[in-house]
Structure 1
Amino acid sequence: MKAISLMQPWASLVAIGTKKIETRSWSTEYRGQLAIHSSKGFKKYLRQLCCEEPFKTVLNKAGLSLDNLPLGRVVATCKLVDCIEMTPEFIDRVKSAKGHEYDFGEYAVGRYAWILEDIKALDNPVPAKGKLSIWKWEGKS
């Protein structure tokens, strides 16, 4: 299965189904099953972000906190169904939608929105060494 590494808290936000658009500076032609891997590194500014709103409340509702976010593990699987170059109109649609999707991404014209569907959190996240770009995960979901 193909995989992509995301830093925390974004990996867990995808796993709990709150983040369904992964924002990237690059596009991909790949469509299909995708494992979501949480990077092992957890920088100070990302740890602080977990204590700020809306991150803190959303994570807490899912039983997650700064102290128990899985690191260096595949946390979910999903389907990557589209990759859209962001336009002002697209960004406005995301910004005006219900929920916190806009808060959980980096939206700017020229960046890319990876549209994720059929997200399934793994009951027991699987240890894995991440890589840059899209990579092949040999584990089982």
Structure 2
Amino acid sequence: MMGSRRRTNYTNPCLTMHQPWASLLVYGIKRIEGRSWPSPITGRLWIHAASKVPEPETIKAMEDFYREIYAMNGITDVKFPEHYPVSRLLGCVDVVGCVTCDELVSWEAIPASVRLEGQTAFCWLCEQPQRLVVPFEMRGYQGVYNLERKVYEAAFRGLSSVKAPFPVRFPLPDPRDPFSLKPGSLASSSNCSNASREEEKSPTLVAAIAGARAAATQFSKNNNVQPITGNNVEGIEKKQIP
């Protein structure tokens, strides 16, 4: 389990994401947010959609990926968002922890379908999605940043609970119990691109995973941006994302 960075200056943390990943997260379909850096916070994280309109092929690739992994749990009627708004604050999730990719894919206490979501160096564990009935138009910033107070106050009143298709409660280690589950206890030194390779995959699942990786690759440079952490959030000019 990755430790959090200092987060004393985070009051209402927010993360700007590209679509369709942003909406998939607040609708509870996406349960793992992958990044090249560990989560600097635990608790509520607001989700903002960047301005780039997603290509139909990207939406299809990600929806196909989630159809396939939910089918592993017998769920064949996943209700995807009707549209993927951009430049909007969409809602929030609770980040309950952060593990490495190798830790996630070897974590046998969670469903194999969730382990397949681990495709990046660090995996933020997300629960309790809530979405805004009316998404707010706003600009975003790189990394994790504080939501403006007036935006937060208005957004908090507009939240609606989400009925996720297959919500997961991550059985996190108890720091007081040395014998509690440790996600990394079975982690191998293999590269994460071989995630859950021991699981038997159907050809359609293999194709869906490949399509999801290809769709995400176009944004990999954006995800490598280091966040503004609790150490340096004050006094640093945040780079805006339209």
Q: What range describes the TM-score normalised by the shorter chain of this pair?
A: 0.7 to 0.9
The verdict on how the C-alpha distance between 1:100 and 1:116 changes in structure 2, with shifts beyond 3 A counting, is closer
CA contact (8 A) 1:15 1:75 kept: yes
**Structure 2 contact 13–144 (Cα < 8 Å) conserved:** yes
Contact 1:54–1:100 (CA<8 Å) still a contact in 2?
no
In the other structure, the counterpart of 2:37 is: 26
- How far apart are residue 63 of structure 1 and its match? 4.4
Given that 2:24 and 2:81 are in contact with CA atoms closer than 8 Å, whether structure 1 keeps it comes out as no
Higher helix fraction: Structure 1 or Structure 2? 2
In the alignment, which of 115, 119, 124 is matched to residue 134 of structure 2? 124
- Superposition RMSD on alpha carbons, in Å? 2.7
Offset of 1:62 from its aligned partner? 3.3
Structure 1 residues without counterparts, runs of 5 or longer: none
How many Å apart are 1:130 and its aligned residue?
0.9
Cα distance in 2 between the residues matched to 1:134 and 1:85: 19
Larger C-alpha radius of gyration, 1 or 2?
A: 2
Question: Do 1:79 and 1:116's aligned partners in 2 also have CA atoms closer than 8 Å?
Answer: yes
SS of 1:26's equivalent?
coil
- TM-score, normalisation: structure 1: 0.76
Q: 2:91 aligns with which of 76, 100, 118?
A: 76
TM-score using structure 2 length: 0.47
Q: Distance in 1 between matches of 2:88 and 2:144?
A: 15
Q: Which has the higher contact order (CA 8 A, sep 6+)?
A: 1
- Please list, as runs of the form range in 1=range in 2, the aligned pairs for 1:1-141 lying within 5 A after superposition: 1-42=12-53, 44=55, 47-52=56-61, 53-54=64-65, 61-64=79-82, 68-87=83-102, 90-93=104-107, 97=111, 99=113, 102=116, 105=117, 107-108=119-120, 111-138=121-148, 139=151, 140-141=155-156
Q: Could you tell me how far 1:99 is from its partner in structure 2?
A: 4.9
Unaligned runs of 5+ in 2: 1-11, 71-77, 157-242
Moved over 3 A (4+): 54-58, 98-101
